[in-house]
């Protein structure tokens, strides 16, 4: 088994194509290639989506919580590749199952993201993702993603 490792935003920016305001992972706390990842997103009141969701009662949109999980899952998969293998590639959602939202996420919360690889076959990866705030489950889902050539999109 590989030793767990961690990394900051610089490595995240190397691996993911996402940029502000759509980059939703701030730090990787633990990653074991081919197994699991633990990361987090610090949710700030300055996030642009809070202007309209919802005025007076700022709540992080559930779809963005799932996107944060997907980005963490993407980091899990992409971290295991040799960098030369990912040139010209995109890691895209191909399915969501068993999505449940358990508690709202508010400004000031730290969204802890955990993904565990369920299986990998050819160019498809299936992961179990969970998002927590203060140890309380906020959302969960099974995510399926595929690596594809940028030119095919």
Active site residues: 53
* Beta-strand pair 89-101/136-149: antiparallel
102 CB-side CA count, 13 A = 12
List the structure tokens of 137.
Answer: 């489950």
Neighbours of 117 (CB within 10 A): 19
Render 124-141 in DSSP notation, one character per residue. Answer: EEEEEEEEEETTEEEEEE
Residue 135 burial (C-beta neighbours within 10 Å; 0-12, 13-18, 19+): exposed
């Amino acid at each position: 088994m590989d030793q767990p490792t961690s990394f900051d935003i610089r490595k995240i920016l190397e691996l993911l194509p996402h940029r502000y305001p759509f980059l939703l992972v701030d730090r990787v706390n633990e990653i074991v290639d081919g197994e699991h990842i633990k990361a987090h997103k610090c949710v700030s009141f300055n996030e642009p989506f809070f202007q309209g969701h919802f005025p007076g009662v700022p709540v992080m949109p559930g779809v963005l919580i799932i996107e944060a999980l997907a980005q963490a899952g993407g980091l899990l998969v992409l971290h295991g590749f040799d960098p030369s293998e990912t040139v010209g590639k995109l890691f895209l959602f191909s399915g969501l199952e068993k999505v449940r939202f358990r508690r709202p996420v508010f400004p000031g919360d730290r969204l802890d993201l955990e993904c565990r690889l369920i299986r990998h076959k050819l160019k498809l990866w299936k992961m179990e993702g969970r998002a927590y705030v203060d140890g309380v489950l906020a959302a969960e889902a099974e995510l399926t993603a595929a690596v594809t050539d940028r030119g095919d999109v």
